[in-house]
């Protein structure tokens, strides 16, 4: 991985090269413009969402250019800032508290080995936290969002609609007679079907669509800036693919039913969408399953 370094201190540069150069790729930034181009606003450096980005920043430069001001108050800074100085005791700690810094180090008081260990620990802790977040917000079996993530996103999309009239559609999907799969073929087979279904949804939806597993065999999809007809066509592709894929398995055949709604002005709360889409899902079941009602 790459560690980005912003400092004008030649002594610090030499120490960083000696302690970290053999273990990480180092990218030295010699100007604030270059730093801001990489990390601020809509120009954030292109990295995987789960990749740890470590930036070693000279404390004096961080304060001088008020780097925190380039990010919104509630915005997550897209890197882990490590502030560098000669002596922590010489810094204004009240200002450090506002920097969202991950670590602050006096480079003239630690050895090269200690510097390396601190950075390695920082990266290790990042990935530990990432794993905890995955447990909290993602379904570990299907690798898509869980119910908590879905509810939070639906609330945010609904609030955005209320303020900006940005339309979206909501689908609730249930695998038909899924209990019989677990009863007759075992839970491992059931888990396989759930993972296959989630994969089919991901392959047929856009990256901007929000897919979640909200119950045992129940899924939800939020289609941002989408009309009913467009969302229906996507759901129909998913329904057909689920049916076709499981038909190829001689041991088990699974179909899906779905309800689909579009946000409207008469919805007062985001939970109203859930209530209405559930009614349509039940209707699809009552009409014989393996269909979509909107």
Better-predicted residue by pLDDT, 12 or 76: 12
- Residue 245 and residue 254: Cα distance in Å, rounded? 9
Residue 66 has pLDDT above 70, yes or no: yes
- Residue 35 and residue 24: Cα distance in Å, rounded? 19
What is the reported pLDDT for 42? 45
* pLDDT, mean of residues 24-50: 69
DSSP-derived 3-state class of residue 31: coil
- Residue 92 and residue 104: Cα distance in Å, rounded? 12
Please state, for a pLDDT cut of 90, what percent of the chain lies above it. Answer: 55
Task: Report the Cα 147 to chain-centroid distance in Å.
Answer: 14
Cβ contact 260:235 at 8 Å: yes
- Residue 78 and residue 92: Cα distance in Å, rounded? 24
What is the reported pLDDT for 57? 83
**Active-site position among 58, 114, 192, 217:** 217
Task: Report the Cα 219 to chain-centroid distance in Å.
Answer: 18
Known catalytic residue at 48:
no
What is the reported pLDDT for 253? 85
Confidence of residue 47 (pLDDT cuts 50, 70, 90): very low
- Residue 77 and residue 38: Cα distance in Å, rounded? 12
Q: What are the structural domains of the chain?
A: 2-136 (3.40.50.2300), 147-293 (3.30.70.270)
Flag the least confident range among 10-24, 36-50, 126-140, 167-181.
Answer: 36-50
84 token code pair = 């560098």
Confidence of residue 102 (pLDDT cuts 50, 70, 90): low
Give pLDDT tens digits for 132-180. 777 788 998 999 999 999 999 999 999 999 988 999 999 999 999 999 9
- Residue 152 and residue 186: Cα distance in Å, rounded? 33
DSSP-derived 3-state class of residue 138: strand
Helix axes 112-137, 147-164, angle to 10 degrees: 80
Give pLDDT tens digits for 240-263. 999 998 777 767 889 999 999 999
* pLDDT, mean of residues 208-216: 95
What is the reported pLDDT for 50? 53
- Residue 169 and residue 230: Cα distance in Å, rounded? 9
Q: What is the mean pLDDT of the chain?
A: 86
What is the reported pLDDT for 162? 93
Choose among 147, 159, 167: nearest CA to 219. Answer: 147
Evaluated on CA atoms 184, 189, 190, 196, the torsion sign reads negative
Confidence of residue 59 (pLDDT cuts 50, 70, 90): confident
DSSP-derived 3-state class of residue 226: coil
What is the reported pLDDT for 17? 95
What is the reported pLDDT for 99? 54
What is the reported pLDDT for 261? 98
What is the reported pLDDT for 172? 98
* pLDDT, mean of residues 92-99: 59
Would the pTM of this model clear 0.85, i.e. be above it?
Answer: no
Cβ contact 255:176 at 8 Å: yes
């Amino acid at each position: 991985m790459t560690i980005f370094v912003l400092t004008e201190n030649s002594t610090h540069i030499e120490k960083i090269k000696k302690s970290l150069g053999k273990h990480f790729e180092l990218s030295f930034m010699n100007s604030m413009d270059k730093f801001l181009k990489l990390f601020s606003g809509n120009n954030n450096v292109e990295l995987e969402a789960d990749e740890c980005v470590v930036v070693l920043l000279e404390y004096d430069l961080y304060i001088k250019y008020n780097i925190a001001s380039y990010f919104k108050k509630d915005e997550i800074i897209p890197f882990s800032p490590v502030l560098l100085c000669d002596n922590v005791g010489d810094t204004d700690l009240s200002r450090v508290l506002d920097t969202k810094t991950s670590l602050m180090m006096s480079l003239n008081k630690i050895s090269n080995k200690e510097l390396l260990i601190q950075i390695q620990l920082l990266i290790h802790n990042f990935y530990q936290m990432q794993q905890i977040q995955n447990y909290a917000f993602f379904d570990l079996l299907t690798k898509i969002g869980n119910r908590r993530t879905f509810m939070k996103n639906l609330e945010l999309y609904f609030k955005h609609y209320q303020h900006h009239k940005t339309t979206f559609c909501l689908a609730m999907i249930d695998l038909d007679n899924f209990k019989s799969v677990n009863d007759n073929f075992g839970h491992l087979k059931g888990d396989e079907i759930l993972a296959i279904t989630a994969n089919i949804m991901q392959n047929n939806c856009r990256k901007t669509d929000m897919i979640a597993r909200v119950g045992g065999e129940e899924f939800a999809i939020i289609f941002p800036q989408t009309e009913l007809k467009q969302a229906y066509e996507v759901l129909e592709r998913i329904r057909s693919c689920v049916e076709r894929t499981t038909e190829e398995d001689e041991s088990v055949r699974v179909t899906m039913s779905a309800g689909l709604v579009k946000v409207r002005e008469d919805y007062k709360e985001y939970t109203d969408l859930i209530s209405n889409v559930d009614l349509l899902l039940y209707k699809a079941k009552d009409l014989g399953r393996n269909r979509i009602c909107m």
